[in-house]
Homo-oligomer: A and B are copies of this chain.
Amino acid sequence: MTKIGIPSLKKFICDVLAQCGVSPADSATTAEVLVTTDAWGVFTHGTKALRRYAQKLRAGGLKAQGRPAIVRESAAWALIDGDASLGMVTGVFAMNCAIAKARTSGIALINVRNSCHFGAAGYYAQLASRVNMIGMAMANDVPSVAAPGSKGPVLGSNPFAFSAPGGSHPPFLLDISTAVVAGGKVKALMAEGRPIPPDWLIDLEGRPTTDGNLYPLQASLSFMAGHKGYGLALMIEVLSGVLSGAAVRDKVGAWTTDVPARVTDHGHTFLVIDPATITGANTFPGGMSSLLDGIKECPTVAGAGALKIPGEMEAARAVQAEAGGIPLPDDVWESLQGAAQDAGVALPE
């Protein structure tokens, strides 16, 4: 574990991205997304991916000077082409567009094509709850998850995130993979030398396996809750892939394993609702306070403490990280060392 202050870590990311030709504004946006994710303790989706993003930027699989742009739009929706720029840049652009439209229309749907891996879906959802709106974010990905009865991967671990302001509580932030776990967690357990649970992986014959080395080429993740997770992943594929006009299923580029020069054409979906428009100002925050108060008062088993609101642990970790730095796990630190070496820039202190 290596503890790094938030400003140092952001500066390092901007240095690496500047070396790849990314503008200061886009670098700052990307640093904000990745470092916030690390500050939440979601290390599988934070700065660990920087090295790979930088490799793709240098090889042209991501366009350093790409500019996401609106292709078609109306008051309550827009279709955006990400121009193969960093997924974080396109994701923030799209979510800001959704928030602006929801302020006038009450609800807004943004579909995105020609993007790449965008990190943690929850980051985008919480951009809405920060401004007292409700946000959702979804993305498709290259298949890595086996459906009930399939021999190999059928769909990506297509993530889903939802956030709503918590009233007198911290924001409610749900960020889940439709796979039984995110693929990064298989690698995280292996990096820690811990065993893979028996219901996580399915080999190419459709049999459960605990051999993490088989993932992702010779084993697939399982879906969460069997056919339910499969159905939710397919919903996300419909919205983020088909409706956005992005690549679908095996046409999506594998951002971690393909040649870095390949453009991935990931699709995303963002949805924002402005409660103040629909319910009138102040009604919704009071309702959220009351709902979450009730959850906190539910009896729990001995030693469990009050029930957690999704996002509560992450918010508490972010407060600690703000004060005392982020405790980066070894695999993240090693990845940052590689990124520093590749770019010829100094590691953060």
By a beta-carbon cutoff of 8 Å, the part of chain A in contact with chain B is 72, 74-77, 79, 105-109, 111, 134, 147, 149-152, 154, 162, 164, 172, 174, 176, 180, 205-206, 224-225, 227-232, 234-235, 237-239, 241-243, 245, 248-250, 273, 275, 277-279, 283-284, 287-288, 290-291, 294-295, 298-301, 304, 307-310
Contacts and interface: CB of A to CB of B under 8 A. Distances in A.
Nearest to A204: B299
Given A74-B105, A225-B224, A277-B74, A174 B232 contact: yes
Nearest to A232: B174
Given A172-B234, A245-B287, 14 more contacts: A75-B76, A76-B106, A77-B105, A77-B107, A147-B307, A150-B299, A150-B307, A151-B300, A151-B301, A154-B295, A224-B225, A238-B291, A242-B284, A248-B294
Contacts of A301: 149-151, 205-206
Nearest to A249: B294
Contacts of A238: 134, 164, 172, 288, 291
B111 A109 contact: no
Given A248-B294, A249-B291, A230 B152 contact: no
A76 B107 contact: yes
Given A106-B74, A284-B242, A298-B154, A278 B111 contact: yes
Contacts of A241: 287, 291
Contacts of A107: 76-77, 107-109
Contact of A273 (B224, B228, B229, B243): B243
A124 B149 CA distance: 29
A79 B279 contact: yes
A149 B105 contact: no
Contacts of A279: 79, 243, 245
Contacts of A290: 248
Contact of A77 (B278, B298, B308): B278
Contacts of A275: 243
B231 A228 contact: no
13 contacts: A149-B307, A151-B298, A151-B300, A151-B301, A152-B299, A154-B298, A174-B228, A174-B232, A176-B231, A176-B232, A234-B295, A243-B284, A250-B294
A31 to B, nearest CB: 28
Nearest to A143: B298
Contacts of A225: 180, 224-225, 228-229
Greatest chain B CB density within 10 A among A75, A151, A231 is at A231
Nearest to A107: B109
Contacts of A147: 295, 298, 307
